[in-house]
Structure 1
């Protein structure tokens, strides 16, 4: 009888293994460029998950209204749940989880469940409402996107019906040229020549730095149109995928593309008059219409830095993850892993290098985020409810 039971268990395990392999192959094209890279499905049952993070204790997964913990040992459990939440990003720093719900950032102490408000009234109600949070030592880095395509409110901004007085907020004082269409002001308001726009403590198109001990907040870098992915190296270098301008609205821009930038403290990256280090009135952005976009700012804070990488497409680059030693794809130097949502590829590249395709996903796979933990690239597919990993075979 024991032998029969043993054979039955072996058959069940064999069938389960086949189903897992079939599951993987049906969902993911295992078109891994490097034959030494191995894919594993780590967690299931996470359908509609939005973001995730990790520490030494285990994994934490955010859904719209709740955060669950998946400990290294033991059963998953709900850390916090509230039907009024609208969680869009999650990060762990020390013993606290930091998450965004609506326009405020809250911290949750993993040890005692204490909830605390860190920041509120963030200006994230415009076109690029995604807010990303990344922890580094005693700091959080927080991205705030642009409210508009190119600083002018128009009928292309679908949020006008709910926020008729909304517009881009500058984190520093700026001086504008005369402009009938109006920039950094509500819809239908023009700019006078030499008009001064007062900066506010938290503005759009910026990267904030928040001290988790003192609660102090300041602008780390600005003029960054819309950060789609953000990560930090072990020695504090910050890299971000940034979306280019679109051909729409009262100030349309043609022929732009997405970028990867290294973001440095105190730098201005060009919004709303430059993209990829080039002025918007240059021939590059005129296209077939031959329409020039003259500068909105009377004086630019600095010549904006060039990107580390210019993509060949627009509205394409999303998440980015950094691995300082590049072990995932067999390299021994810092590697950038980033997601191209148009081609559904995960790419890898050294800084200023030529990207290579690491893996292609099928059309119904949605990469909700990806991060590096313990020598592996963790990828959340919120559509299927999986977290899978890519790692170098030993």
Structure 2
């Protein structure tokens, strides 16, 4: 399928223009532009099952490294090397394509993989790990259980759970007899009242740090659900995107926001009992199932902080970067891609680029489709924005992963990925 593209279908802030830089790409996910202006992108592998790192040379993209786990979730440049994050692993790729795994075996067999990596000014490496489940309980929505029946979420601190158990059918052995599953437990494993769950280094929903060679892994913070991206801003402030709960599974939670945080060390950020600093027992999070939501942890490590700003459920925050060019607004502002939701309820959220003032929390629209953001839009504008990067000339490049299969909003059509270029009119 050849995707229809028309930059005039996209609104951008006054004095900026947008154009198509490259098209007909397969599920591109991340973009990296080095100090010497080399451009790298990723094929996440979600369409082909063959994730790749690609280099732009002589007017086209060529694969320079393959054999990663699906999906690739980010690429970062440091020390003349490319750090590739892919499910469960972090791999260093030299510019000639030589590969070396520095981190392997991360607990990412569940719903959400590890995030991109980023570096603090002292060259300490940071990355996020997603949770196994939506809200702490393995259930019928976790299809990975068939292959990983003993996998489950683990906390970053020693916690005591209240001990609730959630009923579902036992689809592992195709039995219609119900089974009971407790929080932070394997499917079919019950919890006892006030049972202790031991904290672990490789905690679910955590941010970890390590040396650039992968040694000395340390837990930095935890209590996130799905850290899709993280980066350092000025003064070594660590920022992270966290996408909130869905209304699904054994413990559905409705109307949870997607959040942008300033992350402090040693802090618990609320998952699986809080959303944006609010307890999920609040009526705001009531579901259509009229199921009473209860807290799971009886001894929360701390009062969870509030995010810098929130976005509607289904915005699906992806990549972001810190502005370094006065022509694009305040130095230190955040440009962030909104991938968009995958349900009819969420269809009008996302599919644009926003700008966040990290001091005030004010969020404004930088670029979006003029016709709106319908899941089934056929205009020539944004499909699924997922990442962005500046080149050395101060132009902004945006990865658009593609457009949806109309019969499956989770699936992108092949060869519909695009790179857009946004320039200040000179």
TM range (shorter): 0.7 to 0.9
Q: Which residue of 1 aligns with 2:26?
A: 47
Report Cα offsets for 1:290-340 as digits up to 9, x if no partner. Answer: 5432221121111000111122x21213224233456354x2343222223
| CA RMSD, Structure 1 to Structure 2 (Å) | 2.8
Rounded Cα–Cα distance in structure 2 between residues aligned with 1:208 and 1:214: 11
Q: CA deviation at 1:273?
A: 1.0
Q: What is the number of residues matched between the two proteins? A: 367
List aligned pairs for 1:1-394, cutoff 5 A.
26-44=5-23, 46-57=25-36, 58-63=38-43, 64=45, 65-70=51-56, 77-82=62-67, 85-89=69-73, 90-110=75-95, 113-129=97-113, 131-137=115-121, 138-181=123-166, 182-213=182-213, 215-286=215-286, 291-311=291-311, 313-325=312-324, 327=326, 329=328, 331-340=329-338, 341=340, 342-351=349-358, 352-361=360-369, 363=377, 365-374=383-392, 375-383=394-402, 384-394=416-426
Contact 1:282 1:292 in 2 (8 A): no
Report Cα offsets for 1:30-88 as digits up to 9, x if no partner. Answer: 443422112243345643333221212311222233322236x8986542234x65351
Q: Does the residue aligned with 1:296 lie in a helix, a strand or coil?
A: coil
Q: CA deviation at 1:385?
A: 4.0
Structure 2 CA distance for partners of 1:209 and 1:124, relative to 1, 3 Å: same
Q: Which residue of 1 aligns with 2:178?
A: none
Contact 1:132 1:142 in 2 (8 A): yes
Q: Does the residue aligned with 1:167 lie in a helix, a strand or coil?
A: coil
Report Cα offsets for 1:348-371 as digits up to 9, x if no partner. Answer: 231243322222247462323223
Q: Which residue of 1 aligns with 2:413?
A: none
Report Cα offsets for 1:251-285 as digits up to 9, x if no partner. Answer: 12123222211112111100111111011122332
Q: CA deviation at 1:220?
A: 1.4
Gaps of 5+ in 2: 46-50, 167-181, 341-348, 403-415
Contact 1:230 1:319 in 2 (8 A): no
Q: Does the residue aligned with 1:191 lie in a helix, a strand or coil?
A: coil
Gaps of 5+ in 1: 1-22
Contact 1:29 1:359 in 2 (8 A): no
Rounded Cα–Cα distance in structure 1 between residues aligned with 2:120 and 2:421: 23
Rounded Cα–Cα distance in structure 2 between residues aligned with 1:326 and 1:56: 15
Structure 2 CA distance for partners of 1:377 and 1:129, relative to 1, 3 Å: same
Contact 2:136 2:153 in 1 (8 A): yes
Q: Which has the larger radius of gyration?
A: 1
Structure 2 CA distance for partners of 1:123 and 1:333, relative to 1, 3 Å: same
Q: Does the residue aligned with 2:295 lie in a helix, a strand or coil?
A: coil
TM-score, with length taken from structure 2: 0.77
More helix by share: 1
Contact 2:115 2:229 in 1 (8 A): no
Rounded Cα–Cα distance in structure 1 between residues aligned with 2:352 and 2:59: 34
